[in-house]
Chain A
Amino acid sequence: MSNLAKIERDPNYQELVRRRSSLGWLLSAIMLVVYFGFILLVAYAPKFLGIPLGTGVTTIGIPIGLSVIVLAFVLTGIYVRQANSSYDVLIRKIVEENRS
C-alpha cells in the first residue's frame, strides 16, 4: 500500500494524529484523576464530604459529586467541539489529497 506511506508523511495527517492523541489522552487523564480522586475521598475522607456548606444541611459532597457528572459532560463537549472544528477539516484535506 504505497498510499499508506504517502498519508503517513502528509503533514496534515501528522498534525491530526498529534493533536487528537494529545487532547484525547489529556482529557482521559483529567477524567481519571478527577474520578479516582472522588473515589479516594469517598473511601478515605467520607467526613470531608460530609462538611456542611454554610449553615444548612447541604454538604460539600453534593456539589462535588454533581460537578464530577457535569465535568464528564463538559470534557466530552470540549473534545467534540475540537474534533468538529479542526480534526474534521484536517481529515477532509487528507482524504482529498490522497484520493487515488
Chain B
Amino acid sequence: MKRFAWLSVILLASVPTIALAAGAVEGGSKQATNWAAIGMFVGFVALTLAITYWAAKRTASAADFYSAGGGITGFQNGLAIAGDYMSAASFLGISGLVYTSGYDGLIYSVGWLVGWPIVTFLIAEQLRNLGKFTFADVTSFRLGQTEIRILAACGSLVTVAFYLIAQMVGAGKLIQLLFGLDYWIAVVLVGGLMMIYVTFGGMKATTWVQIIKAVLLLSGATFMAGAVLYKFGFSPEALFTKATEVHPKKLAIMEPGTLISNPLSAVSLGLALMFGTAGLPHILMRFFTVKDAQAARKSVFYATGFIGYFYILTFIIGFGAITLVSTDAMFLDGSILEKTKSGIAAIKGGSNMAAIHLANAVGGNLFLGFISAVAFATILAVVSGLALAGASSISHDLYGMVIKGGNANEQDEIRVSKIATLVLGVLAIFLGIVFENQNVAFMVGLAFAIAASCNFPVLVMSIFWKDLTTRGAVVGGFLGLVSAVVGVVLSPAVWEATLGFAKGSAPIKLDNPALFSMAIAFAGIWLVSMLDRSKRAAVDRDGFDAQYVRSQTGIGAASATAH
C-alpha cells in the first residue's frame, strides 16, 4: 500500500511540472498549455487514484481482481460498459467525421451500436451463467481446456494489442494537442496511470474509473449538444440549414458520401462493427462483474441506451462544429484557409479537434478545459479496461488454466496478472512511441475484425451448437484470426496507405476483411467439427446438454462473491 501511495504522489506532483516544461518548448502544432484543462485533469487523476487506493484495500481474492467480486450493480455496469466502449476515437473521431462529411458519421454511429442488441439477446446472460472471469471460461466450458484457452488467449491478446496501440497513439497525439505536452510524455503518462489503476485496484478501480468517465463524458456531450441546439432555437432543421450553407459540400453532407463507395466493403465493415462488439474481450469481461444473469441483461440495456444517446449527441456536436467552428477564424489555420478557402479543411489540429474547438465556442475556456480533461479520462478508462482484459487472459487462461492446469494458487495468479499488466503497459508505451508517425486508424478496424472472426464465432458456436468440437473450434478460430490479419494487411488501407504500394494494387479490395474472414471461421468450425470422429469430440458433444441447461437457468453458475 505504501508503494502505491508513493507512486501516486510522485505521479501527481509531476503532472504540472511536466506540463510546464513542455509548455516552454512548445512546437508549432501544439496548443498553448491549457491550465484549466490541466487543473481539471489533475482533479480527475487525484479522484481516480483515491478510488484506486480504496479499491486496492478491498482487492484480495482473484474474484475481486478480475471481476470486482461480482458486486457491481446492473446500472453501474451499464455505465461502466458505456465508459469502456465510448472511446476517444468514437467521441472525437465520429464528431470529426460528421464535421468533414456530415451524414457518413451517422453510418459509423449506427454500426457501432447495433452489436449491443445481439449481445443482449444471445450472449450476455449465457456468458454470465457459464463463465467466471474471462470469456474463455465459456468457450472452454465443455471443450478441451488447453487448446481452447490458448486460442482464446491469442484472440484476446491480438485484439487487445491492436486496440491498445491505436488508443495509445491517439492518446499521445490528442494530449499533445490539448495540453501542450510532448508526445512521449503523454504516452508515458497514459501508460503509467493505466498500470497503477489496474495493478493496484484491479477490476474495482477500473470499473469506477469507467463509471466516472462515462458520467463526465455524457454530461459534457449533453451540455455541448444542448448549447448547439439552443443557438438554433432547438430546431434541427435550422441547424442543418446553416450547416449546409457554410459547408463546402453544401447539401451533400445530408446524404451518404464517398466514405462508403463499394457495397461489399460496406457490408463487410457492417459485419465487423456489429459482431466485433460481441467479441471484444474487455467488453465481454464486464459481464462477470455483476451478481447474476439478470443483472448482466439489465446492464447491456442501460449500456445500449447510454451509447445510443451518446452517438446521437456526437451527430449534433459534429453539425454544431460545422456551423460554429468552421466559421470562426479563431479555430482555423490561416495559411490553410487561404489555400483551400474551406473552413472545414483549415481546422486547427485536424478534424479530430472539432468537438474540442466546439467546447471552446459554446462554453469558453473553462468548458474547453473540462472537455479536454474528459477526453484524457476517456482514454485512460478505455486503456485500463483493455490492459485488464489482456492481463487476465495471460494470468487466468494461460498461467492458471494451461500452465498450472487449473490448480494455480490464487495469490500467484493475481501476481502473474499484475506482472502481465506491467509488461503490457511498458509494451503499450513502447509501441505507442514506435508507431507515433504511422497511420493507425486501421488498427481499430483490425481489432474489430479479429474479434468478429475469431472470438465471436467460437463463443457463439460453443454456446449454441451441440456438435462443436475442440478441434473444430481451434481450427476455425485460428483460420478466422489468420484470415482477418492477412485480409487487413492486403487491404487498401494497409497495402497502399501504410506499406506504400501503388494505388489500386491491393490484392483485396475490401477495407475490412470481416465478410470473408467470418465466413472462413464459421465454415472451418462447422466442417472440422462435423468430420471430427475423435474421442475428444464425443466428450465435447456429451457435455453440451449440461452446459445448455446451465446457460439457460444459471444453476451451478459461479456465485457473485467468491469469498
CB contacts (< 8 Å) of A88 on chain B: these are 294
Contacts across chains A and B counted by CB atoms under 8 Å: 158
Query: B255, A46: Cβ atoms under 8 Å?
Result: yes
Query: A56, B237: Cβ atoms under 8 Å?
Result: yes
* Nearest-Cβ distance from residue B218 to partner chain A, whole angstroms: 15
Query: A76, B263: Cβ atoms under 8 Å?
Result: no
How many Å lie between the Cα of A6 and that of B379 in the bound state? 50
Interface residues of B in 233-265 (CB under 8 A from A): 236-237, 240-241, 244, 251-252, 254-257, 260, 262-263
Query: A72, B260: Cβ atoms under 8 Å?
Result: no
* Nearest-Cβ distance from residue B456 to partner chain A, whole angstroms: 13
Cβ-based interface call for B103 (8 A): yes
Cβ-based interface call for B446 (8 A): no
Query: B109, A43: Cβ atoms under 8 Å?
Result: no
Query: B118, A69: Cβ atoms under 8 Å?
Result: no
Query: B241, A8: Cβ atoms under 8 Å?
Result: no
CB contacts (< 8 Å) of B113 on chain A: these are 68-69, 72
Query: A35, B110: Cβ atoms under 8 Å?
Result: yes
**A31 to chain B: closest residue by CB:** B117
Quick check: which of B171-179, B296-304, B340-348, B430-438 contacts chain A, the rest being far away? B296-304
**A35 to chain B: closest residue by CB:** B114
Which one of A17, A43, A59 lies within 8 Å of B255 (CB-CB)?
A59
A26-44 vs B, Cβ < 8 Å mask (1 yes, 0 no) = 0110011001101110111
Query: B553, A91: Cβ atoms under 8 Å?
Result: yes
Which one of A38, A56, A72 lies within 8 Å of B117 (CB-CB)?
A72
**B254 to chain A: closest residue by CB:** A59
CB contacts (< 8 Å) of B315 on chain A: these are 66
CB contacts (< 8 Å) of A57 on chain B: these are 237, 240-241, 244, 251, 254
CB contacts (< 8 Å) of A52 on chain B: these are 254
Cβ-based interface call for B131 (8 A): no
Query: A62, B121: Cβ atoms under 8 Å?
Result: no
**A51 to chain B: closest residue by CB:** B255
Which one of B252, B255, B304, B545 lies within 8 Å of A72 (CB-CB)?
B304
The interface on chain B, measured as residues whose beta carbon lies within 8 A of the other chain's beta carbons, has a size of 51
Cβ-based interface call for B477 (8 A): no
Cβ-based interface call for B116 (8 A): yes
Query: A61, B263: Cβ atoms under 8 Å?
Result: no
Cβ-based interface call for B481 (8 A): no
Query: B294, A84: Cβ atoms under 8 Å?
Result: yes
Quick check: which of B58-66, B305-313, B500-508, B526-534 contacts chain A, the rest being far away? B305-313
How many Å lie between the Cα of A36 and that of B241 in the bound state? 29
CB contacts (< 8 Å) of B240 on chain A: these are 56-58, 62
Query: A16, B552: Cβ atoms under 8 Å?
Result: yes
Query: A65, B103: Cβ atoms under 8 Å?
Result: yes
CB contacts (< 8 Å) of B107 on chain A: these are 39, 42, 65
Q: Which of A1, A62, A76 has the most CB of B within 10 A?
A: A76
Nearest first, the 6 A-B pairs at minimum CB distance are: A50-B255, A43-B263, A46-B256, A24-B121, A43-B266, A65-B106
B residues lining the A interface (CB < 8 Å): 103, 106-107, 109-111, 113-114, 116-118, 120-122, 125, 236-237, 240-241, 244, 251-252, 254-257, 260, 262-263, 266-267, 270, 274, 294, 297-298, 300-301, 304-305, 308, 311-312, 315, 545-546, 549, 552-555
Q: Offer 13 A-B interface pairs, CB within 8 angstroms, sorted by A.
A: A36-B267, A39-B266, A58-B236, A58-B240, A61-B106, A65-B103, A66-B312, A68-B113, A73-B304, A73-B305, A80-B297, A84-B294, A95-B554
A residues lining the B interface (CB < 8 Å): 1, 4, 7-8, 13, 16-17, 20, 23-25, 27-28, 31-32, 35-36, 38-40, 42-44, 46-47, 49-50, 52, 56-59, 61-62, 65-66, 68-70, 72-73, 75-77, 79-80, 83-84, 88, 91, 94-95, 98
Q: A50-B254, A69-B311 are in contact. List 17 more A-B contacts (CB 8 A).
A: A24-B121, A28-B122, A31-B118, A35-B114, A42-B256, A43-B260, A43-B267, A46-B256, A47-B255, A50-B255, A61-B255, A62-B240, A72-B304, A73-B305, A76-B117, A83-B297, A91-B552
